[in-house]
Amino acid sequence: MTRSLFTFVFTLFLGLNALIAQHTIIPHPVNVEAVEGSVTVESEIGLVLDQENELISTMLDNFSSELKPLGIQMSSGGGAESTAATLLRITLKEEDSVKLGKEGYELHVGNGVINLQAIEPAGVFNGLQTFRQLLPQTRVADEEGNKEPIVLEGMRIVDYPRFGWRGLMLDVSRHFFTVEEVKDYIDQMSKYKFNVFHWHLTDDEGWRVEIKAFPRLTEVGAWRVERHGRFGSQRPYPKKNEKATYGGFYTQEEVKDVIAYAAERNVTIIPEIDVPGHSMALLAAYPELSTRKELKFVNPGSKFANWFDDGTFEMTIENTLDPSNPAVYAFLDMIFGEIAGLFPSDYIHMGGDECYHGYWERDEKVQAFMKENGIKDSHELQSYFVKRVEKIISDKGKKMIGWDEILEGGLADGAAVMSWRGMQGGIEAARSQHEVVMTPKEFVYLDYTQGDYSVENKIYDDLSLEKAYSFDPMPNPNLFVDIDPELILGGQGNLWTEVIPSLQYAYYMTYPRAFAISESLWSPLAAKDYKNFLGRTEVHFERFDQSGRSIAKTIYEPEVKLKMENRKMMCTLSSDFDDIEFRYTIDNTYPVGMGKKYTEAFEVPPGDLKLRVQSYRNGQSIGRMLLIDRKDLEARLK
């Protein structure tokens, strides 16, 4: 951390009120107030734990390991007062006078003591994450190598979440992530008070969890032929006798290890087994569970669906289970039995999205089954399948949750809905007294493009940081007076990985938009302020840089808009920051830093030319240079 940033965050401010106004905590706490006193942290923090608790002790061991790179040791006197100059006293309260709940905490910094109080270990964990954000990511040292003391001004924080479900989903089917990578992703999300990790374990491109009853699911379904580049028609199908070498899976022992790791970080893991669609990897191992019973392959990212302008689609290879086959339900009963035994979470996700009905509608046996059971159409048939799966999952002592397509044809009793095609599905489910997790794609799909197409992967939609920050999972109570707010469990961000082959790129796509989602799910609605959030986000850019993790800084780059005025193509540049200026050229010259300073809309003249533009702050370049040719500029005309 630079000395200027260190000074901004951790040393004396002009006044106590300035400290509170400029804190950099994400997500924003419920209440922060200045108090007299301060705490100086040098090489040791004495730990005083008022009550023995095994989980809290483990959390503190993990926290202590995070402080070691700062040159700080945590010492414990077994409950007695420590001789350390700075104390961290942790207390489990028996009464909740300020509605802290399970995950809330109070943090009081002053007079050489950091007091952390909570009702349960989850609250202690969240309080420790806030305390960690008050400390620098790295420690400033003087010329002799001595680490400078860290001064924390006196403050009292009272904090608790707005929603109980604050999740991130990681798709490990499209690209496989190792156990250590998954742990690192969980560790990072927990620092920003996410508490649900939705593990998308199966899809057309790979089956990632060991099922002992059906070993071919991982022997065959976990591996595909290796292909490179974007998913789609440019990725050829497997060649005859081509070996499947790309992929991987998690053994049940590895799953247990990840679950325990997450629990120490106040994260519950929700497993997803995606059925009846998205089942090509399953069917590659057990093709007899489809209607056509044809041999399949694990999809290597090749195109096998045609999407139409009205949002409908057609699968060219069958990737759905046969809902008329009793063997399918016996098969799923054994799978979900093993999943329920592995994962202690209350919920199991059964997918249910984007299920193509065409093969069902063309199969004589399925049609006869529908007639025999009084099922009028394929939507009711999917509802029949979902209700059967819900019964299987509930019989294992778990609650079923699925994507909002499970509403089609009627929703099974006891099922919860994860609403991704906007919020309407969640609203419909809540009106029917079902629990809901809001995850509308327009606000929380983290695979969406987040910057200018000239420097970012262009996919089918965009999601800016500001748009993500505007997410509110609670339907407007003035418009939806018939919805019980208790049924809205919370929300989550989803990271689909078709174009995300590595952990570092997963971080780039997740953050800082996950900061915005975290604040939308934790902080009071009245506390949200996008400009203030941007200032805090910039501090966390540096924290990510210093930790060696990637993070997208696209907010520094200009938004480029084009429109026709008086038969001229005019270009405007804008930014969320008031202290950033743009330099540009529009005549194929460079360096752009020597170009024109942007002050107002300018004409893009006719000709074979390119726009070069880059952001500057205090005379220094910030963000990437955008390079956009005239054809692309014309395509942006509104």
Active site residues: 203, 278, 354
Strands 436-438, 416-419: pairing is: parallel
| Cα gap 556→474, rounded to integer Å | 30
For 255, the 3-state DSSP assignment is helix
Cβ(273)–Cβ(350) under 8 Å? yes
**Structure-token pair, residue 40:** 């100086």
| Cα gap 153→134, rounded to integer Å | 10
Residue 165 phi/psi, 5° resolution?
A: -105, 110
Q: Tell me the one-letter amino acid at 480.
A: F
Angle at the Cα of 384 from the Cα atoms of 378 and 389, rounded to 5 degrees? 130
In 3D space, the residue among 399, 590, 388, 417 whose CA is nearest the CA of residue 492 turns out to be 417
Cβ(353)–Cβ(307) under 8 Å? no
| Cα gap 56→619, rounded to integer Å | 48
Cβ(571)–Cβ(562) under 8 Å? yes
| Cα gap 600→565, rounded to integer Å | 14
The DSSP symbol for 593 reads G
Tokens 């019973």 correspond to 293
| Cα gap 298→308, rounded to integer Å | 24
In 3D space, the residue among 202, 223, 210 whose CA is nearest the CA of residue 256 turns out to be 210
| Cα gap 458→635, rounded to integer Å | 14
| Cα gap 49→158, rounded to integer Å | 20
| Cα gap 407→599, rounded to integer Å | 52
Dihedral of the CA atoms 447, 449, 453, 456 (nearest 10)? -50
**Structure-token pair, residue 445:** 């799909």
For 557, the 3-state DSSP assignment is coil
Strands 559-565, 596-597: pairing is: unpaired
Q: Where are the alpha helices (DSSP H) in 68-190?
A: 121-134, 179-190
Q: Per residue in 246-270, is it b (16+ CB within 10 Å) or e — as a string?
A: bbebbeeeebeebbebbebbbbbbb
Q: In the chain, how many H helices and how many E strands?
A: 19, 28
| Cα gap 58→64, rounded to integer Å | 10
- CA Rg, the chain, in Å? 27
Cβ(150)–Cβ(10) under 8 Å? yes
| Cα gap 351→390, rounded to integer Å | 12
| Cα gap 122→263, rounded to integer Å | 10
Helix axes 378-395, 326-342, angle to 10 degrees: 40
In 3D space, the residue among 177, 168, 162, 92 whose CA is nearest the CA of residue 127 turns out to be 92
Q: Tell me the one-letter amino acid at 180.
A: E
